[in-house]
Amino acid sequence: MNDRTDSASIVDGRMTLPGVASAFVQDAAKPLGFTADGLVAVSGHDWRDGVLHDAARIEGHARPDRARIARIDQPEPAQDLSLTIRSFPGESAPLLRLSLPAGAQGDLDDRLAAELFLPQPLFAALRQDLIDGRADHLSFAATTNLWLREGNADEEPPVFHLAPEADGRPRQAHGRVHSISWRPLDPAGDPASLAPGQPDQEAEEPEDPVAEQLRRINWSLKQVLIILVFLMLIIALK
């Protein structure tokens, strides 16, 4: 099999580029993991070909987990990716798509977008947990068709590369997600995290004004009784 791109040649799954010493290969045994946060549930609809479609989605930020993503022609590592999570009918395995808009300018961090496609039941469960505050952090791992430098199988952290553009089309990579999980935000145990003006739990509770008034009345009654007893003793001695 021999495929051509604008600047690369792929023969039997091995990609070479003019002027680049090392070749690139795909490794299905090396998954790419992501962590995501800042998740927000977005509701809406859009119209395509005169038909109304549900455009509900989840948006957030994702980062490669103990890995880097780079372009082969300009290998700046990506640290922050815009993440969009969408649903699709059925219950097949979730899918991942990584893309760079054609002709976009700027650093890789500003351009690289990750789209996660979940089967409808899984998407609905994640969206509900997000609304209920049980999905602040998301983790997923996928096997992708990104490229690794040949002979660098033990490189740490691994660098996954996007292929060069083909016929002017935007760079894209695809993957099949084989694990996904989410969890709520961990409670902060730092006392400094208390809201301003929030009293310490061990601080003395303010006294009840009603109870204080009752104590004063009881004290006054006791004084009156002592005087009465004293007067009765005087009368008895006479």
CA distances from residue 143 to 137, 158, 182 in whole angstroms, order as listed: 21, 14, 19
Q: What are phi and psi of 179, to 5 degrees?
A: -155, 145
- pLDDT exceeds 60 at position 227: yes
CB 34 within 8 A of CB 64: yes
Dist CA 60 CA 76 (whole Å): 22
The pTM of this model reads 0.70
**Tell me: the pLDDT tens digits for 159-208?**
898 887 766 666 789 999 999 999 998 755 444 444 444 444 444 445 56
- Taking the domains of the chain in order of start, what are their residue ranges? 2-183
Q: What is the DSSP letter of 134?
A: -
